[in-house]
Chains A and B, each alone.
Chain A
Amino acid sequence: MTTPHPAEAAPDQSLVRALITPEGVDLRLTLGSAGERAAAFLLDLLFIAAALITLAILTQAALASMKRQSKEVVEMIWILGAFGLRSGYFILFELTGRAATLGKRALGLRVVARDGGRLTAEAIFARNALREIEVFLPLSFLAMSALAGDPADGVALLMAVIWSGVFLLFPLFNRDRLRMGDIVAGTWVVKSPRVALLPDLANGAGSAAVMVFTPEQVAAYGVKELDILAEVLRRGDARTIKVVATRIQNKIGWTVVSGETDSAFLTAYYAALRARLEHRLLFGHRRRDKFDKA
């Protein structure tokens, strides 16, 4: 959850939505991508299946200890459990403060009202009731025809697959990655990951105070290169650091002093470059990248 992955530093701009707080600050929410949504859902299905299997095993054990054989009780628990779990699981978890199922939590997602207001219980119910027709209904048809030993019903199978396909792929066909349930409930799913506060890279430059760069040398790059540099330093991969350091040294005409390591050089250069760019930023010049003349 704390990876300084580039995707986290610079989210896909087409998925960023404005959410202006009453204090007037734009939180710039990022919508969960279709892949993340699918992964979260699959995780949830796994959890539900695991819970159901545990439930079944426990009932079997309880019945066995009571020395009673009752297929009906087990069957009843299965039917009720499957229904209760698949409806209750999503609703109860989304009713909690974090507004996310376990799968969504694992992927750093949460459900939010589209208008930025409170997420009401009605909305949560509506969005999950729709899940019933999106996924579970055709699935249960499939299961039923399989149980009835009627696999030859190809048309029903095809219809179920098409039906589910239309709904499952629905989020891919709208800008906001809404599924049918989101549309009816007025919700969407956004990223709300727990980002860890990483140490400030510029602090590591203290030991390399001897390195002094000329104004021309620190003027070689812009913000984009600064971010990439930070990325490289955080990864700490020795080979990449060497390649990048050599490239920068060539570009700015830096002569390497003996005993000077590549990462020390990069850290010092990062601090110097950031100091310069932030200084310029205070005067209203945000230099996007090295081609930007600002």
Chain B
Amino acid sequence: MSGGELRSGRFRTEREADWRRLESLLTRAERGRASRLSDAELLELPQLYRAALSSLSVARATALDASLIAYLEGLATRAYFFVYGTRARLRERLAGFFRRDWPAAVRGLWRETLASAVIFAAAVLVGYVLVIHDPDWYGSIMPGVFAQGGRDPAASTAFLKSILYDTSHNDQLSSFATHLFTNNATVAIMAFALGFAFCIPSVLLVAQQGLILGALVALYVSRGLGFELGGWLMIHGVTELFAIILAGAAGIKIGWAVIFPGGRPRLEAAAASGRTTGAVMAGVVVMLMFAGILEGVGRQTITLDWARWSIAWVSLTLWLGYFYLARERLA
């Protein structure tokens, strides 16, 4: 009795060439740009995919060769994800993200952003009022990293002022700035990622950042250095704080979905909000990178108050315009 007489053997012999062809096309397609498929091959692929699917159905119903079925399942699955998956290349996806997805996601989050901004502003106010009335609060609000270098209520006004315009240790400061960037990025990602715990960690993190800012402002205002500090802070702070507020908003959105899932199961609601806010968060990291550059490079080279302030205002205008202005032209 020879294999050719087996019905499933004949079935396989007849179709094997098509499967192999599909396999080689998929392998090339998955490898990326270098071996891009031609138009004809791109048209051929879905046909071969459907043929492989029907082979799989037939094989499951009539063949008892487990390895053949495993092969066809693997092949059909790979082809399915190619045919119905995202076809866009990495570069196109990135371009689409900056042109459409990110601003759209930020706009979709406006309610949470507003809430997050209000919380932040309130925290700034609280921090400010506390420290203005009782400088002892400063120590308990500031985390150790920021208090180092002697920037505390016991320092002299001249010293506090010198920090704002110090350009002598460029190298050290840029290292400090990168440290701050990763620190801020971690804070932002945490504000987002911890959101599923009923928004509480997100709100707390945003509030904590606000408190720190308020306390710092109070310290400098009490020495009559408010305007100067504003330039020093806001040159990058506009971007950075905006990013952290957005991250908090994203966390609040997820937490809200967990608390009030609506008609859907909780898991599903969390997943849906996680997907919509994912884009916001990817952008937040990019914003923090900009902020890091402004902080590390811009602030060290630009020491004029009005120049710092104008960069702050320009960046605020740019971000707001980018996120919230109507853009039919691009859409």
Taking CB atoms, residues of chain B closer than 8 Å to A80 are 178, 181-182
Taking CB atoms, residues of chain B closer than 8 Å to A202 are 3, 6, 9, 65
Shortest B186–chain A CB gap in Å is 7
B305: CB under 8 A from chain A? no
User: Assuming the A-B contacts A79-B178, A80-B178, are A28 and B30 also in contact, with contact meaning beta carbons closer than 8 angstroms in the complex?
Assistant: no
Number of B interface residues, CB 8 Å? 80
Taking CB atoms, residues of chain B closer than 8 Å to A83 are 181-182, 185
Range, interface on chain A: 35 or more
The secondary-structure label for the interface of chain A is: helix
Q: How far is the CA of A227 from the CA of B254 in the complex (A)?
A: 48
Select one of A4, A140, A183, A274 contacting B67, CB under 8 A: A4
What 0/1 pattern do residues 168 to 197 of B give for CB contact below 8 A with A? Answer: 000110110011011001100110111010
**Which residues of chain B (32-91) have a CB below 8 Å from chain A?**
32, 50, 53-54, 56-57, 61-68, 70-71, 73-78, 80-82, 84-87, 90
B271: CB under 8 A from chain A? yes
Taking CB atoms, residues of chain B closer than 8 Å to A282 are 7, 62
**Which residues of chain A (103-130) have a CB below 8 Å from chain B?**
110, 112, 114, 117-126, 129-130
User: Assuming the A-B contacts A120-B275, A226-B64, are A274 and B6 also in contact, with contact meaning beta carbons closer than 8 angstroms in the complex?
Assistant: yes
B186 pairs with A132, CB closer than 8 A = yes
Taking CB atoms, residues of chain B closer than 8 Å to A183 are 196, 267, 270-271, 274
Q: How far is the CA of A204 from the CA of B4 in the complex (A)?
A: 10
Binds A, one of B130-138, B147-155, B159-167, B277-285: B277-285
A125 pairs with B65, CB closer than 8 A = no
A23: CB under 8 A from chain B? yes
B30 pairs with A97, CB closer than 8 A = yes
Shortest B149–chain A CB gap in Å is 16
B193 pairs with A9, CB closer than 8 A = no
Q: How far is the CA of A278 from the CA of B189 in the complex (A)?
A: 56
Residues in A lying within 8 Å of B, measured CB to CB:
4, 8-10, 19, 21-23, 25, 27-29, 70, 72-73, 75-76, 79-80, 82-83, 87, 91-92, 95-99, 110, 112, 114, 117-126, 129-130, 132-133, 137, 140, 180, 183-186, 192-198, 200-206, 209, 211-212, 223, 226-227, 230, 234, 268, 271-272, 274-275, 277-279, 281-282
Can you list 15 residue pairs at the A/B interface with Cβ under 8 Å?
A9-B66, A21-B53, A23-B50, A73-B171, A82-B182, A96-B32, A97-B87, A118-B85, A122-B279, A123-B278, A125-B278, A125-B282, A185-B274, A201-B3, A202-B9
